[in-house]
Amino acid sequence: MPFDDITGLGTSAERHLASLLLHVRPDRQAMVRAAIATLPGTELHIEQAGKMVVTVEGPHEGWIADRMTALHLLDGVFSAVMVFHHIDRGHIDRTEVEAAEGS
């Protein structure tokens, strides 16, 4: 599965989506927010004093783990914890749909 390590874009229909909780030093929160904005595939959704919820989307779980590590290593970040991970395979298996419909 070829993909671009920088952007996380690939030719596979499979996509991974993860939600992370970051605990940060409140005095470094603006710097962390700016760094998140520069990382492809990451998006800041909610923040309070010392806490941020970030989603990461990429081609496979290794890419997600790399982004999680990059976020954890930012100056001012105490921890980056995954709270959700979903794999979207990009296709529907007809047999699963038919079984669910009772056909």
The tens digit of pLDDT for each residue in 51-79 reads 999 999 999 999 999 999 999 999 999 99
Q: What percent of the chain has pLDDT over 90?
A: 67
**Token representation of residue 66:** 């790399």
Average pLDDT over residues 26-30: 97
Handedness of CA 82, 96, 9, 6 (dihedral sign): positive
Phi, psi angles (nearest 5°) of residue 66: -65, -45
Distance CA 43, CA 71 (A): 12
Q: What angle do CA 59, 4, 1 make, to 5 degrees?
A: 55
pLDDT band at 89 (very low <50, low <70, confident <90, very high): confident
CATH class of 15-101: alpha beta
**So where are the chain's domains?**
15-101
Whose structure tokens read 């590590």? 69
Q: How confident is the model at residue 13 (pLDDT cuts 50, 70, 90)?
A: confident
pTM of the model: 0.75
